[in-house]
Amino acid sequence: MAQIRLDKFISERTEYTRSQIKELAAKGRIRLNGEVVKKSDTKIDSESAKVEVCGQRIGSSRYKYILLNKPQDYVCSTDGKDGETVLKLIPPEIRTKGMFPAGRLDKDSLGALLITDDGELAHNLLSPKHHIPKIYIVKLARPFENNYINKFETGLTLADGETCLPARVKKAENSDKLAFVELHEGKYHQVKRMFAAVGNHVEVLMRVSLGALVLPEKLAIGECMELLHKDVENLFKEQDFESFCDRYSPIFSANLINNQL
Ligand code: URA
């Protein structure tokens, strides 16, 4: 049994400082195993305690894993130098002090972004050694051409001479200007540069999966959710690209079209 002070438990798992936690407890905003607890120095069992702050359950895990459906106009950084950061979109009840975006989406890109305070997991996720597949849906300026399939599969050479690992691409449903792309690496502006290399132009880009974790349909643009243990495991699994496209093409195509992106 790991005994820990309630305020330490909460401050390690949220952005609240100990003095804020004391205030919240005094106001009756903290519950321990369903009961209001007014003293923030109460000792709790960190493994079994059910702690809620302002109605939000605080997980027992030391680390937090949040999936954000990133909107356009937010930057994937922790400082605000180049614009509003994605961290602004995480509610304080689930944000922790050491959180950062694990990976990058351009300022004008949307979709699945993991935000965590687990440096080791982020390192493994981004490491080229693991080649975690990522799937994007793109809206193109010109119609999709079937010759892209072979060009992407054999490893494209970008305008600056850089070569890409083999990638998959497939036209999506409902429009000849929508396509899915699967990459196993993450070069700077890679998807945009790949389509530029075949003479097209990406107008909208949305990441729809990380490993086998698919952006949930119910997670609207700008919303986030805490991931469960099994979702985190899915980040490191693969899924079949063809089956993914067949299953999710109607959903994500409609998503882009309905959001008028
Ligand atoms: N490729 C891009 O070009 N932009 C992104 O945001 C992600 C992948």
pLDDT digits (tens, 9 = 90+) for 55-77: 888 877 778 899 999 999 999 99
Fold classified for 3-58: 3.10.290
The CA-atom distances, in angstroms, between 146 and each of 183, 210, 237 are 18, 25, 28
Strands 56-58 and 100-101: unpaired
**pTM reported for the whole predicted model:** 0.82
How do residues 5-35 score in pLDDT, each as one tens digit?
Answer: 999 999 888 888 999 999 999 999 999 999 9
Q: What residue ranges of the chain are covered by domains with CATH 3.30.2350.10?
A: 65-258
How do residues 153-202 score in pLDDT, each as one tens digit?
Answer: 999 999 999 999 999 999 998 889 999 999 999 999 999 999 999 999 99
Q: How far is the CA of 244 from the centre of ligand 1 (A)?
A: 20
| Element (DSSP H or E) covering residue 214 | strand 213-214
CATH numeric code, 65-258: 3.30.2350.10
CA dist 61 and 69 (Å) reads: 23
Q: Which of 7, 45, 73, 106 is catalytic?
A: 106
CA dist 209 and 117 (Å) reads: 20
The question of whether 176 is a catalytic residue gets the answer no
SS (H, E, C) 217-240: CCCCCCCEEECCHHHHHHCCCCCC
Q: What residue ranges of the chain are covered by domains with CATH 3.10.290.10?
A: 3-58
